[in-house]
Amino acid sequence: MSMSERKLTPDLFRPANLGTGKGEEITKPSLSFWQDAFRRLKKNRAAMLGLFAIVFIIVFSLIAPSLSKYGMDDQELMRANLPPKIPGLEKIGFLGVDGVDIRGVDQYEMKNVPTEDKFWFGTDPLGRDQWVRVWKGTQISLYIAFLAATIDLIVGVAYGGVSAFYGGRVDDAMQRVVEILVGIPNLVVIILFIIILDPGILSITLALVITGWIGMSRIVRAQILSLKNREFVLASKTLGSTNGRLITKHLLPNTLGAIIVTSTFTIPGAIFFEAFLSFIGLGIQPPTASLGALIADGFRSLRIYPHLAIYPASIMCILMISFNLLGDGLRDALDPKMRK
């Protein structure tokens, strides 16, 4: 209101000094492609929410296990199958974190657990702290996913890049190989691989990578094929750039958007397949556990001890949704043309 009441007097104004060329001056700093993309991403609330959730879960999975005094495989049968109990929140009944199981028995009292012992996510049938296991499992799931995505990225970019850049007979030969590999269902390859190699973090990652890089290589190839005949590449070539310089300075940076988006979608895919393998008994072997293995174990006693499955399942759902939201947001921000 005060704005409209203020008197406007002529002495408040001063003529602008219009020198030569002043009108041509660009006042706003020009944004680079990445600044612009980041600005667009920041506007997308869903994607930012996903990004925060991912960062939060990653940070938490790293620090959370040290908040408990128990390790990943500290067994104690005396305190098996305890329901969750969180100090502070235990008074609020409907949250279900008061140490009372579904039959209404306070398991902590019944099993004579020392009062200072409170298991935030409860304990599993061997008396291991579920809190530690869930966050360690998150770590392992994320580790497998990021490792698989990184290897996919390196192999895919190299293969697709070489295939497109050298073209001709090289491209033909390399694409024939891809055509055959694409025809083989990855479900089949992954299962066969795990049966041959013993299930472990590395073999699961390998199995995921063995077919996973193809998608990346196809996208990179398509991008580089369309880029390499553009004028700016030709100009650089005429100025005497080496192939290495062309690739690292011109072709790859322009493909980076598509690469990032594809990688963001590779990660939830890898998390899903790892969990899927755990579910059919080919995943990480005990005592280590991934999110998928924990969920699979938890489902076995879902009726009596729902807390064993609910927490890892929720974290997994949040992770998957967040990566999908972030991926969608990145795609919109980096490549408006790819919008779907």
Partner 1 sequence: MLRYITKRVFAMFLTLLIIATITFFLMKLLPGSPFNNQEKLTESQRYALNEKYGLNDPVPVQYINYLGKLAQGDLGYTFQFDGRTVNSMIANGMGPSATVGFEALLFGTLVGLILGIAAALKHNSFIDYGAMVMAVFGIAIPSFVFAGLLQYYVGVKLGWLPVAFWNGPEYHIMPAFSLSVGVIATVARFMRTEMLEILGTDYILMARSKGISKQAVIIKHCVRNSMIPIITILGPMAIGLITGSLVIENIFAIPGIGEQFVKSINLNDYPVIMGTTLFYSFLIIVIILVVDILYGIIDPRIRVAGGKS
Residues that bind partner 1 (CB under 8 A): 179-180, 183-185, 187-188, 191-192, 195-196, 268, 272, 275-276, 279-282, 295, 299, 302-303, 306, 309, 313, 316-317, 320-321, 323-325, 328, 340
Q: Toward partner 1, which CB reaches closer, 151 or 282?
A: 282
Nearest-approach distance from CB 197 to partner 1, in angstroms: 10
d(CA 191, CA 181): 15
Phi, psi for 83 (deg, rounded to 5): -75, 165
Q: Which two tokens stand for residue 32?
A: 């680079």
Cβ atoms within 10 Å, residue 29: 7
Nearest-approach distance from CB 187 to partner 1, in angstroms: 5
Q: Toward partner 1, which CB reaches closer, 220 or 291?
A: 291
Q: Toward partner 1, which CB reaches closer, 152 or 297?
A: 297
Nearest-approach distance from CB 8 to partner 1, in angstroms: 40
Nearest-approach distance from CB 19 to partner 1, in angstroms: 46
Nearest-approach distance from CB 321 to partner 1, in angstroms: 4
243 burial type by CB count under 10 A (0-12 exposed, 13-18 middle, 19+ buried): exposed
Q: Toward partner 1, which CB reaches closer, 38 or 299?
A: 299
